[in-house]
């Protein structure tokens, strides 16, 4: 049995793991990264292979098809097309090409920084030793530091086990044909992003949500424009409803809804989007003396676990399960191992929902700020008064700021509208730098841009609005 010794062993090649390995390599550390591939597709993990990247490709294709379909019916600015069609197999091929380019890029970056990549299934023997089952036989890796980055998997529902017409987001992104009827169980960001995309592509979509509204983790003010567009797309949304299983024939989803009789929803595919759970089992983690935080591995502000020199990053450490959080944690861990003084401060982590329209949030909502004991000034600027939004025919939405009433320190920034995901960087930077309303109001914003709404919302909170 071959044996490898290294300074750092990274278990998992997703965003947290590969970024940690790259940064450690940049810092001159001897690194081994183990990635098993499988459903996640290999380097890049869920995000790159079957999550963030392919879903955004599908969403873009669906948006383009919807616009073409609308232009076949009318020509609001003089452009018209005739009978748009979509070859969905080619769409998937295009999506796969993007994923392939990016995964190849990750592999090249790891090699450039002298990271040794082992393809295989990793099982921890103890806090410093790992057995890796590879195609060429088992290998043992010993390391001074171990970084756990095993990620997460789609959560399952006992009454709707995956298989056949019941699919997770992974299978939804690999369909070769657009389903005529799609039932989506769960109205969080995964369910609504994919449900909206397939509705635009022509599927009859029904969304089932146990809570009293869609996107329950976002405040209602931000969700209203999304709900309006779901109605315009013809998506049926059933709230206070739960799936109880398949019909006897297996061709419909049985649901129970508060205040309504039980019913069945005919569906060619049933997308279960009930969240994700940490991937804990199967890696020998039970052999380690890890303190758990419920279903997650507990870490401190340095991403250190309860075992000396065993670190954990990404989804297996809990919410928010976001690739950019995992990446930031990976950098912190690599630099700590190299002897730098670092902590992970997760106070400013942008969250983006790529629905139609998009939602972006950073920091606290007005309600959260008040619950935290702050008196606040809050104001929003509508895209109906933003010139760039009007030229894009995308006036539904707004930018909202929340700041302390006493010193005007920004506590939270949010937006809903077409393309607002690209404002996440400006919002995050403003909070990270400790900006006040006066800082944003005194910054010259380019005209005409959507970002001007951030400027105007800040001025409005100060009572100095210029364009409303």
Residues known to be catalytic:
447
Q: Burial of 77 by CB count in 10 Å (0-12 exposed, 13-18 middle, 19+ buried)?
A: exposed
- CB neighbourhood size of 419 (10 A): 16
Strand ranges for 116-158 from DSSP E: 116-119, 121-126, 129-134, 137-148, 152-154
- Residue 236, strand partner residues: 206
d(CA 342, CA 294): 26
Query: What is the token pair recorded at 407?
Result: 């010193």
Beta bridge partner(s), residue 166? 163, 270
Taking the C-alpha atoms of residue 311 and residue 333, their distance in angstroms, rounded to an integer, is: 7
What is the gyration radius of the CA atoms in the chain, in angstroms? 24
Cα separation, 203 vs 200, in Å, equals 7
Q: Which is nearest to 309 in space by CA: 36, 29, 4?
A: 29
Name the nearest CA neighbour of 451 among 429, 356, 189: 429
């Amino acid at each position: 049995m071959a044996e490898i010794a290294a300074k750092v062993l990274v278990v998992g090649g997703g965003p947290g793991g590969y970024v940690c390995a790259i940064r450690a390599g940049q810092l001159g550390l001897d690194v081994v990264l183990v990635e098993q591939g499988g459903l996640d597709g290999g380097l890049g993990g869920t995000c790159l292979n079957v999550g963030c990247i392919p879903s955004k490709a599908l969403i873009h294709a669906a948006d383009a098809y919807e616009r073409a379909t609308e232009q076949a019916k009318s020509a609001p600015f003089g452009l018209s097309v005739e009978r748009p069609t979509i070859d969905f197999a080619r769409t998937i091929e295009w999506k796969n090409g993007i994923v392939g380019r990016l995964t190849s890029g990750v592999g090249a970056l790891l090699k450039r920084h002298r990271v040794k990549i082992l393809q295989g299934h990793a099982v921890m023997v103890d806090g410093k030793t790992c057995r890796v089952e590879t195609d060429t036989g088992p290998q043992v890796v010993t390391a001074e530091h171990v970084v756990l980055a095993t990620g997460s998997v789609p959560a399952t529902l006992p009454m709707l086990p995956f298989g056949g017409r019941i699919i997770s987001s992974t299978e939804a992104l690999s369909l070769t044909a657009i389903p005529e009827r799609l039932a989506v169980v769960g109205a969080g960001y995964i369910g609504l992003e994919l449900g909206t995309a397939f509705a635009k592509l022509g599927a009859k979509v029904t969304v089932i949500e146990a809570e009293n509204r869609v996107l329950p983790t976002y405040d209602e003010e931000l969700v209203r424009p999304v709900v309006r567009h779901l109605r315009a797309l013809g998506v049926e949304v059933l709230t206070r409803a739960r799936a109880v299983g398949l019909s006897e024939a297996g061709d419909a989803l049985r649901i129970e809804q508060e205040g309504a009789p039980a019913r069945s929803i005919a569906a060619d595919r049933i997308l279960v989007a009930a969240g994700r759970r940490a991937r804990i089992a199967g890696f020998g983690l039970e052999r380690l003396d890890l303190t758990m935080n419920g279903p997650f591995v507990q870490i401190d502000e340095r991403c250190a676990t309860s075992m000396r020199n065993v670190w954990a990053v990404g989804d297996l450490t809990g919410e928010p399960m976001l690739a950019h959080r995992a990446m930031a944690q990976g950098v912190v861990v690599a630099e700590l191992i190299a002897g730098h003084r670092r902590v992970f401060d997760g106070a400013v982590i942008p969250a983006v929902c790529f629905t139609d329209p998009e939602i972006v949030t950073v920091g606290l909502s007005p309600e959260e700020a008040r619950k935290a004991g702050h008196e606040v000034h809050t104001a929003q600027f509508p895209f109906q008064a933003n010139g760039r939004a009007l030229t894009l025919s995308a006036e539904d939405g707004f930018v909202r700021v929340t700041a302390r009433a006493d010193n005007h320190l920004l506590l939270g920034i949010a937006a809903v509208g077409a393309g607002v995901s690209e404002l996440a960087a400006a919002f995050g930077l403003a909070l990270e730098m400790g900006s006040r309303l006066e800082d944003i109001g005194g910054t010259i914003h380019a005209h005409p841009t959507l970002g001007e709404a951030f400027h105007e919302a800040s001025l409005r909170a100060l009572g100095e609005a210029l364009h409303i």
